[in-house]
Structure 1
């Protein structure tokens, strides 16, 4: 079983179909991003959930059997807890039930890799479907996709990622007698009016016709990439970049000129014109319809700002000076040192602190909670300072004139000494 985090992606991957379809120029912009893509904890959680699900399907296990184990992803180590197990199990149960319903002659492909080379695309195109089930009696091919997220609800109808999976599976698994193709989303942690499991079913002819549209969009992305150095940047931007909801997962959003322009226009913030004069913020003049439109773009604007911050952070860590900003240590939550917990409990008992003031069911209360309780009991501040620690979890880039924390050197400067 190949670790999910280590898998490579095609130039046009199924998971990026919706974004590249909506914004053909993003393929070229993403190829220019030099900063390594950071894996979020949410993405790592989803990867762990997929690995648990795959393990269960391949080895006949139940997800609960894997609780307590750890899955190592690109940048994180995720513990398999009850929520991971429950999410994976919903998907596993569905795949097993659909395979069983299809009968003894059913075929199940787990983490089914496929290529779209039979479409003769202008670049490598393909992906990996979570599960592919062939029902010979119904002459149906079903693609099942596990979504572990809870924040973004994924629609099944018209889903370009799943249709790309379905098309790839159909072209790769040649020789199967297929009349219809079903694509199914399993998203246990997100509420949807159609339930946690929802599907779309297409006739093979309709899917192949959609495949022609997909091939056309690939050609558009190829033309956009070719034109990048051939035409005026503003002309290229207006022709090939289409900011919107599709920007959420784009690596280039922090460097995208079209997204920056749209975010500025929709946010109605203060910007200086060429003369240096500030334009008045127009928020108080907005009509309700304008407010609604701006709110519709709020997530896009915030995603852009987050991408800019992440880019600036990476640049600063590489030693680039961001004017007016500095790196400072980022601290995590303070916690008790493992070797002193028993002594802290004994001390609190000794000074007569009520037990509910220093113990919460199953564990010691936080240092702040116990400090506050001791202060109310009249004990001097700092009594337990040596018993807890505050971990350093990295750096943050902040405005130099809005922090009292000392500047720290960039990571590049910490590990390398400049030579004259």
Structure 2
């Protein structure tokens, strides 16, 4: 893994909101997890695919089978890497190819129809030093056509959906690409696109180049200088979720423990008082998880947590070998119906992998339904239609009218 900038664009929202966090995080080592390795492999695969397409310059995006046949050796190497990490290489290859590379390359082809001189840059270096001390990084893909510059960001994880609007990370990417490439082009507009292929989510947002520079001079640069010096107060909030020092942050601990103290009257809380607590729960849950995880890791490394000890957790019984169990039962003359489950239908996801998405849609598309989701409490700003108990109770009658 490459070096990371102290004030990395990926954590811009955090250090712009909580200036001391950058210096505090620098005291903690980077964690190499299964999720980070998975993301690294997916990004490397996407980079390889797009670079190969730019070299061969097909006029339409090739079908997966044709591409994988042409670049089989290269794809096979990524597949072997996935297998070593215990990852599903079929899912990664198909998801990255169809739901990320296709969108980027087809956007590029569309741009070339508008501007034959359109340029697609892969892993473009970002020029951020003017606004962020020792700032650097790279963007997954940068497309320049006409008077527009567009940056693409691949997020391979299956966590929450991320929106591009007013996204500090994406604005830093756009700024770095603009400062690095914009001087060679007459750029008036910038566009930022986040692609989360495993969530089938795409989010784009545009702004003018002057507006981006105004933000950079008046918001980004002052915040970056403050963060570089480690000045200001620790400011807890939902941006703490991925902070490396969240478990040890006194400001976050104080915030989460103080939230409920607004309800000074004894007795039961009103709905209004509960409503005031709800926005803080995501931060509180994340903080609790980070503290528990940090304490466990410290204990595993030999540190003593006062009042606590490590013990062996509960586990369920399991067979050493299912194959040997089946063999022993068969030799004992036990009927198969007594120990084998009936054959079950594979899941939709597994059948899509077996049949390919096109084959699945042709054969089973009309047989797929999407049941109503469980009622969930969200903020009023959420765009989804409000759930109605009465409407839900009479849904079958309404559908049959």
**TM-score normalised by the chain length of structure 2:** 0.71
Tell me how far apart the structure 1 counterparts of residues 36 and 185 of structure 2 sit (CA, whole Å).
34
CA RMSD after TM alignment: 3.2
Tell me how far apart the structure 1 counterparts of residues 194 and 38 of structure 2 sit (CA, whole Å).
18
Out of 73, 93, 118, the residue aligned to residue 102 of structure 2 is: 93
Aligned to 2:340: 358
* Contact 2:7/2:228, CA 8 A, preserved across alignment: no
Aligned to 2:92: 84
Kindly state the Cα deviation for residue 70 of structure 1 after the two structures are TM-superposed: 4.1
Kindly state the Cα deviation for residue 69 of structure 1 after the two structures are TM-superposed: 1.5
Aligned to 2:141: 131
Other structure's SS at 2:205 match = strand
Out of 161, 164, 174, the residue aligned to residue 153 of structure 1 is: 161
* Contact 2:82/2:88, CA 8 A, preserved across alignment: no
Residue 311 of structure 1 pairs with residue 294 of structure 2: yes
Gaps of at least 5 residues in structure 1 are 1-5, 228-238, 269-279, 363-420
Other structure's SS at 1:118 match = coil
Higher mean alpha-carbon deviation, 53-62 vs 173-182, is at 53-62
* Contact 1:87/1:148, CA 8 A, preserved across alignment: no
**TM-score normalised by the chain length of structure 1:** 0.68
Tell me how far apart the structure 2 counterparts of residues 243 and 100 of structure 1 sit (CA, whole Å).
44
* Contact 1:156/1:200, CA 8 A, preserved across alignment: yes
Kindly state the Cα deviation for residue 81 of structure 1 after the two structures are TM-superposed: 3.3
* Contact 1:113/1:129, CA 8 A, preserved across alignment: yes
Q: Decide which structure has greater strand share.
A: 1
Out of 113, 138, 148, the residue aligned to residue 140 of structure 1 is: 148
Aligned to 1:189: 198
Aligned to 2:244: 251
Residue 177 of structure 1 pairs with residue 186 of structure 2: yes
1:19-30 matches, within 5 Å, as 19-30=14-25
Tell me how far apart the structure 2 counterparts of residues 360 and 283 of structure 1 sit (CA, whole Å).
57
Pairs aligned (count): 321
Q: 1:287 to 1:45 in 2, by over 3 A?
A: farther
Q: 1:341 to 1:357 in 2, by over 3 A?
A: closer
Aligned to 1:203: 208
Gaps of at least 5 residues in structure 2 are 54-61, 345-401
Q: Which has the higher contact order (CA 8 A, sep 6+)?
A: 2
Q: Decide which structure has greater helix share.
A: 2
* Contact 2:6/2:23, CA 8 A, preserved across alignment: no
* Contact 1:70/1:79, CA 8 A, preserved across alignment: no
Other structure's SS at 2:221 match = helix
